[in-house]
Chain A
Amino acid sequence: MNKTKKLFEPAPETMEIICAGIGGRGVLLASTLLIECAVDAGLSAIASDEYGMSQRGGSVVSHVKIGNAKSPVVGRENAHVLLALEESEFYRNLTFIRRGGLAIINSKSTSIFESVDKVLKKRDVTHFLLDGDKIAKEKGIIQASNMAIMGFFSAFAIGPYNRDALMDTIKKKVKKSLVLKNIEVFEEGFLKAVSLIKNF
């Protein structure tokens, strides 16, 4: 954790985040939580989502910038954080991550392709794999794997995104009947990160 935290300390003036996944599988909610949480913390923030045709099961990417930014669009090799809600979308969006960045990937796999591992090491990018689908399934809410990734991310407490703040945002923005289940998945993701970071 210390290593990762140091990557973004002091917090950058503008933090850029990419959420990537598949249409209809929680990318929009993830980016909504990120921007709302930042605004609640008194920061200015702007995000860009994709609508229309891409919602029909295609690849979906949301851009979020918090701090000092005018446009929501993230440039190549500029993202501090990539939250990949699906493994293929992680590889597809790899060019977004900046040197020294962080990637969290929802996947059943326990490792990423060697060639990518090598280039990430070279670029000083930290990455973690988390089986968010499994966690969500165990909690009985298969669509909520995005919450596992958010929980995991919250353990790094980067900028405004600590566990308590994100939980508050979930309570505010998620449909009431689903809040409890979502929080359970989020919490599990958080705990997984904490135990991993101990051995980091």
Chain B
Amino acid sequence: MEQKKEVMIGNYAIARGLIEAGIDLAAAYPGTPSSEILPGIIEFNRMEKGITYAEWSVNERCALEVAIGAALIGKKAACMMKQVGLNVAFPPLPSFDELKIKGGLVLVVCDDPGPQSSQTEQDTRLISVLMDIACFEPSSPDEAADIAYYAMNYSYEHKLPVIVRSTHRVSHARQAVSIYPKGKRMVELKEGVLNKTNGNFEGSKLGIISSGMTYSTTLDVLKEMGLENIIPVFKVTSIMKGKISGDKNKGIVEFVDKVKHVLILEETDAVLELLIGKNRKVLGRNTGHVPSAGELTYNVIRDILGDVSESLKITKKKFLFDYEIEDAIKDIPLVQRPPKLCAGCPHRATFYAMKKAFPEALFPGDIGCYTLGTSLGAVDTCIDMGGGINVASGFYDAFNQDGVLIPIIATIGDSTFFHAGITPLYDAAKKNKRFILIIMDNGTTAMTGMQPTPQTGITAQGKSNKPILIEDLVKSMGIDFLKVVDPYDVPLMTDTIKDAYNFLSTERERVAPAVIIARRECVLSARGKEKPKYEEIPLEKTCIGCRTCIDYFGCPAINFDDDKNQVIIDDGLCTKCGVCLFVCPMI
């Protein structure tokens, strides 16, 4: 019978592997590039008519500890997060070696070399080495299903928690992945030298050690250079007990011993370099042969291999850029497309009102779509999830110490508030910190793909449950200024922010911070649900070319036509929310 295959992204492949390994429980907090694994688990579980329980946890630590609980009882449990999510889940990690799990525990962490969608790069393999947790790393979506399956079985068999480490290029690559019935997948870890150099690398001028997608890209680059059967590449798939390839560690020792030079290509820290240890043969990050940060893209690897193989006289065919292409495009005016809040996004309206009420305020921000408020000048800091509220507290103290009160307006999204904002707000309220907190409640976790929040009243598996309202939480802290406002009503929002500051400056005995919940559904999830507020947006008719809306509002549906010296509305994007009508000085 022909092997059944289905095209899917790496994250779904991980989900497939876990479901085939028979997981009982999966818990996760969404975060790019890991967000699609839990939905994948739910989908495959439904297809297989399984009874796997899956949940979106409020944050990564909850997810990991829920999984630990299940594994202690004897279940097969998995949890998923992005690399900086692992920081939130950190507290139980140092105790991992003392965990007496009776079941299986797989921690899937997706790293973000670049970073493309995170505040920092971070290498989960480093944590795994520090904490002595076995770590498995796939190099393609197809292998990701195998690795996830293998990792769960390994954990269950050895009663040890393990890590599966992916990166965005694996998690978000799309490939035909083999599918098996539950428990029928046969996996043998692919590690060691696999390219056709016949294991005969004795005296090879250069050997490469690599892992993950970097390994796959390296093979493609070698092929382009005609070196795929000349330079042996050692694939690293597992790190166990601080050793590369665990029990087969001898293989890598022999490899390093036999080749004349070793080039290490890995993302993103020098972890394999660290494990191989000081050796004059080794070329990598520490010797400056590999850039110290950033994604190892095809171009970067081709550059490195070109330089190294040229200097070792392996090839003269170094790839050279055709700079005539750059010359040809250098004078072309390209439309710049930085990421922007969507047309009709309620966050834009809130940010605009904040700037309008107090243009000179301090604006501690947070992590989510609304980090893009930087482009409206309404987000000054973006440190980590929930950090904005604490930073606002610190800002307040810094000025208060000198007897000064200034407007400080912090923002946090609804999902981030549940994730990491509740404790900081409680702390701020206990100490009566006099700043304004705007909780931007769009009813979803929009940035990562519309996962429900505890306030949605819907679970990951689509069942309904009792919502927990943000205002109830805020009230329970004794906070005396709490308003819920529709941000589309810009004048009301602006006035409410001014009222809040007035409260902070005059009613000093009452409990601060002042909290405003800016509540309106995310424009993406609201699409098609209700009729637009306006039938047409008369912005073009009244336009005198003052550019106020372009410079201070920045809606992607409003473009400026330099020839006509006026704005043009992009009908394909405009949601007819009409917020720009509050911005236009001519209306």
> Could you list which residues of chain A lie within 8 angstroms of chain B, going by C-beta atoms?
22-23, 31-32, 35-36, 39, 44-54, 56-59, 68-78, 88, 91-92, 94-95, 113, 115-116, 118-119, 122-123, 142-143
The residue that B221 contacts in the complex, of A50, A75, A88, with Cβ under 8 A, is A75
Which among B221, B223, B337 has the greatest number of chain A C-beta atoms within 10 A? B337
The residue that B342 contacts in the complex, of A44, A56, A76, with Cβ under 8 A, is A56
Which chain B residues border A39 with CB–CB below 8 Å? 5, 7, 176
Q: Is the CB of A119 within 8 A of B324?
A: yes
Within 8 Å of chain A (Cβ to Cβ): is B298? yes
Question: Can you name the residue of chain B whose Cβ is closest to the Cβ of A34?
Answer: B174
Q: Is the CB of B176 within 8 A of A88?
A: no
**CB-contacts of B330-345 with A (<8 A):** 331-332, 334-335, 337-342
Which chain A residues border B328 with CB–CB below 8 Å? 94, 113, 115-116, 118-119
Q: Is the CB of A47 within 8 A of B173?
A: yes
Tell me, in angstroms, the Cα distance from A23 to B343 when the chains sit together. 13
Which chain B residues border A23 with CB–CB below 8 Å? 339
Shortest 6 CB-CB contacts between residues of A and residues of B: A52-B117, A52-B32, A75-B298, A71-B216, A70-B216, A119-B328
Q: Is the CB of A35 within 8 A of B7?
A: yes
Within 8 Å of chain A (Cβ to Cβ): is B157? no
Q: Is the CB of B224 within 8 A of A75?
A: yes
Q: Is the CB of B33 within 8 A of A45?
A: no
Which among A52, A91, A118 has the greatest number of chain B C-beta atoms within 10 A? A52
Q: How far is the CB of B282 from chain A (nearest CB, A)?
A: 24
Tell me, in angstroms, the Cα distance from A193 to B324 when the chains sit together. 29
Question: Can you name the residue of chain B whose Cβ is closest to the Cβ of A112?
Answer: B332
Question: Can you name the residue of chain A whose Cβ is closest to the Cβ of B448?
Answer: A52
> Could you list which residues of chain B lie within 8 angstroms of chain A, going by C-beta atoms?
5, 7, 9, 32-33, 35, 116-117, 139-141, 168-169, 172-176, 213, 215-217, 219-221, 223-224, 297-299, 302, 321-322, 324-329, 331-332, 334-335, 337-342, 369, 372, 447-449, 556, 572
Tell me, in angstroms, the Cα distance from A67 to B285 when the chains sit together. 32
Which chain B residues border A91 with CB–CB below 8 Å? 329, 332, 334
Tell me, in angstroms, the Cα distance from A91 to B359 when the chains sit together. 38
Which chain B residues border A116 with CB–CB below 8 Å? 328-329, 332
The residue that B329 contacts in the complex, of A32, A52, A115, with Cβ under 8 A, is A115
Tell me, in angstroms, the Cα distance from A4 to B439 when the chains sit together. 56
Q: How far is the CB of A108 from chain B (nearest CB, A)?
A: 13
Using A88-B334, A119-B324, A122-B324 as known contacts, say yes or no to A57 and B340 having CB atoms under 8 A apart: yes
Q: Is the CB of B297 within 8 A of A73?
A: yes
Which chain A residues border B32 with CB–CB below 8 Å? 51-53
The contact sample of 30 A-B pairs, CB cut-off 8 A, is A23-B339, A32-B174, A35-B175, A36-B7, A45-B7, A45-B176, A47-B174, A52-B447, A54-B339, A56-B340, A56-B341, A69-B220, A70-B139, A71-B216, A71-B219, A72-B169, A72-B173, A75-B221, A75-B302, A76-B298, A88-B337, A91-B332, A94-B325, A113-B332, A115-B329, A116-B332, A119-B324, A119-B328, A122-B324, A142-B572
Q: Is the CB of A115 within 8 A of B172?
A: no
Q: Is the CB of A54 within 8 A of B224?
A: no
Q: Is the CB of B174 within 8 A of A73?
A: no
Which chain B residues border A51 with CB–CB below 8 Å? 32-33, 35, 117, 168, 172, 449
Tell me, in angstroms, the Cα distance from A75 to B213 when the chains sit together. 14
Tell me, in angstroms, the Cα distance from A46 to B169 when the chains sit together. 11
Tell me, in angstroms, the Cα distance from A71 to B339 when the chains sit together. 26
Q: Is the CB of B7 within 8 A of A115?
A: no
The residue that A48 contacts in the complex, of B172, B447, B448, with Cβ under 8 A, is B172
Tell me, in angstroms, the Cα distance from A47 to B224 when the chains sit together. 18
Which chain B residues border A115 with CB–CB below 8 Å? 327-329, 331-332
Q: Is the CB of B220 within 8 A of A70?
A: yes
Which chain B residues border A122 with CB–CB below 8 Å? 324
Tell me, in angstroms, the Cα distance from A116 to B325 when the chains sit together. 8
Interface of A is mostly: mixed
Q: Is the CB of B217 within 8 A of A71?
A: yes
Which among B172, B324, B325, B327 has the greatest number of chain A C-beta atoms within 10 A? B325
Tell me, in angstroms, the Cα distance from A47 to B223 when the chains sit together. 18
Which chain B residues border A35 with CB–CB below 8 Å? 7, 174-175
Q: Is the CB of A94 within 8 A of B219?
A: no
Q: Is the CB of A22 within 8 A of B337?
A: yes
Q: Is the CB of B224 within 8 A of A57?
A: no
Q: Is the CB of A50 within 8 A of B174?
A: no
Q: How far is the CB of A137 from chain B (nearest CB, A)?
A: 9
Q: Is the CB of B556 within 8 A of A76?
A: no
Which chain B residues border A56 with CB–CB below 8 Å? 339-342, 369, 372
Tell me, in angstroms, the Cα distance from A112 to B297 when the chains sit together. 29
Tell me, in angstroms, the Cα distance from A121 to B339 when the chains sit together. 33
Q: Is the CB of B169 within 8 A of A76?
A: no
The residue that B334 contacts in the complex, of A45, A92, A143, with Cβ under 8 A, is A92
Question: Can you name the residue of chain B whose Cβ is closest to the Cβ of A47?
Answer: B174
Which chain A residues border B337 with CB–CB below 8 Å? 22, 57-59, 88
Which chain A residues border B297 with CB–CB below 8 Å? 73, 75
Question: Can you name the residue of chain A whose Cβ is closest to the Cβ of B32?
Answer: A52
Tell me, in angstroms, the Cα distance from A78 to B321 when the chains sit together. 11
Q: Is the CB of B220 within 8 A of A57?
A: no
Question: Can you name the residue of chain A whose Cβ is closest to the Cβ of B330?
Answer: A115
Q: Is the CB of B116 within 8 A of A54?
A: yes
Using A70-B140, A76-B299, A78-B224 as known contacts, say yes or no to A49 and B339 having CB atoms under 8 A apart: no
Q: How far is the CB of A143 from chain B (nearest CB, A)?
A: 7
Which chain B residues border A95 with CB–CB below 8 Å? 321, 325-326
Which chain B residues border A113 with CB–CB below 8 Å? 328-329, 332
Which chain B residues border A54 with CB–CB below 8 Å? 116-117, 339
Tell me, in angstroms, the Cα distance from A54 to B338 when the chains sit together. 8
Q: Is the CB of B174 within 8 A of A46?
A: yes
Q: Is the CB of A57 within 8 A of B342?
A: yes
Q: Is the CB of B169 within 8 A of A48?
A: yes
Which chain B residues border A77 with CB–CB below 8 Å? 321-322, 325
Which chain A residues border B216 with CB–CB below 8 Å? 70-71
Which among A75, A116, A118 has the greatest number of chain B C-beta atoms within 10 A? A75
Q: Is the CB of A71 within 8 A of B220?
A: yes
